[in-house]
Amino acid sequence: MTTPFFSIIVPTRNRGSELETCLDAIYQQTFTNYCVLILDDGSSVDIRQQHQQLLKNYDERFQWYEINAADSFGSGPAAVRNIGIEKAQGEYLAFCDDDDCWHREDHLATAAKALETTKAQAYFAGMQIKDGQGRVVIEQQMQQVTHIALQQNTVIKGVHLLEPGQILLYPDYAHLNIMIVQGRLIKQIGGFWPHTRFAEDVDLFVRVCDQAKGILFRPEICATHFAPEKRITGSVSNQLSLQDKRLLEISVYQHLLIVCSNVPALTYARKSLAITEKMLTEELSKEGKKVAAKIFSGAALSALPSLKWGIYSLFLRLKKA
């Protein structure tokens, strides 16, 4: 097979019909110069047998890899996707989670045309979020970015060229389902940060925008993300408690502050860090964990000083232990 324009990385673990929906949507793309790397991260023996039957519905572009032994705990989303990045041969890398899907058949076709026209290194699109009952809970994940983009000229119909400061607008971020990045760039920045099992997509999004020469955005909704907190799944990230997730998010934003170079990315990381530490402070305070609340309140104040939070932080310190 010739070198594909897109390598599409799909990590999976114990999915049935959801993975079929994901792969069907890829198979229906009007642009066909792609390869799909399906990376099984320790699914059960029964599920793997179902997957082998499922693959018969597609062609040789759909490649299956067993990353860990059946019924193993799994390596986690960052490590598995990094294996996909190492194996990928495409000029651009795209991603889709096994329980989500693209729903525009021209997603890749539009991206390919825009990327070939501009030689940009990063491309993002709009995405909606649904709950477990299939109801739309967020119509457009990147609302602020969409507002900015629609005021800019297009490079091709429906696609806008943005500066880093126009796309790094907290709390907007591009989920992996709508992220396409030049393979050379993603390998240059080291792929996913392997030391986290949560918010690895935010970490990659900010680092890509920090370094990319050319960032494209298509506001039209091209993918659906099903909110994992509404479903019972076997994914590694869903086994974490809320406070575990807060701590992992904090480590991601600290990582970004260390590795990013430019003001928009550093500003995004700084604001994200402060807000996450504030949420954790308030949760710890309600639980009566006063020492921890004081420490995180001070960290939040240091990350993003404000008079209101300074007063609250002082109040926590003056309260009796």
Render 103-150 in DSSP notation, one character per residue: --TTHHHHHHHHHHHH--SEEEEEEEEE-TTS-EEES-S-HHHHHHHT
Identify whether residues 44 and 117 lie together within a single domain: yes
Question: In this predicted structure, what is the pLDDT of residue 231?
Answer: 44
Q: What percent of the chain has pLDDT over 70?
A: 95
Identify whether residues 212 and 273 lie together within a single domain: no
Identify whether residues 273 and 184 lie together within a single domain: no
Identify whether residues 184 and 275 lie together within a single domain: no
Residue 141 covered by a domain? yes
Residue 67 covered by a domain? yes
Identify whether residues 275 and 178 lie together within a single domain: no
Q: Which domain holds residue 41?
A: 6-239
Residue 281 covered by a domain? yes
Question: In this predicted structure, what is the pLDDT of residue 233?
Answer: 47
Residue 248 covered by a domain? no
Identify whether residues 264 and 208 lie together within a single domain: no
Residues 265-316 pLDDT 10s: 999 999 999 999 999 999 999 999 999 999 999 999 999 999 999 999 999 9
Identify whether residues 143 and 207 lie together within a single domain: yes
Question: Considering its fold, how many domains does the chain have in total?
Answer: 2
CA–CA separation, 283 and 296 (whole Å): 11
| Cis preceding-peptide flag for 171 (omega within 30 of 0) | yes
Residue 23 covered by a domain? yes
Residue 245 covered by a domain? no
Identify whether residues 178 and 290 lie together within a single domain: no
Q: Tell me if the pTM is above 0.95.
A: no
Token readout for 171 is: 């709390």
Question: In this predicted structure, what is the pLDDT of residue 16?
Answer: 79
Identify whether residues 47 and 146 lie together within a single domain: yes
Question: Which of 63-72, 99-108, 226-235 has the lowest average pLDDT?
Answer: 226-235
- Rounded to 10°, the helix 242-259/200-211 angle is 20
Residue 247 covered by a domain? no
Identify whether residues 104 and 224 lie together within a single domain: yes
Question: In this predicted structure, what is the pLDDT of residue 229?
Answer: 53
Identify whether residues 270 and 196 lie together within a single domain: no
Residue 305 covered by a domain? yes
- Looking at 239, 267, 292, which one is the last position of a domain? 239
Look up the CATH number of the domain holding residue 182: 3.90.550.10
Identify whether residues 165 and 288 lie together within a single domain: no
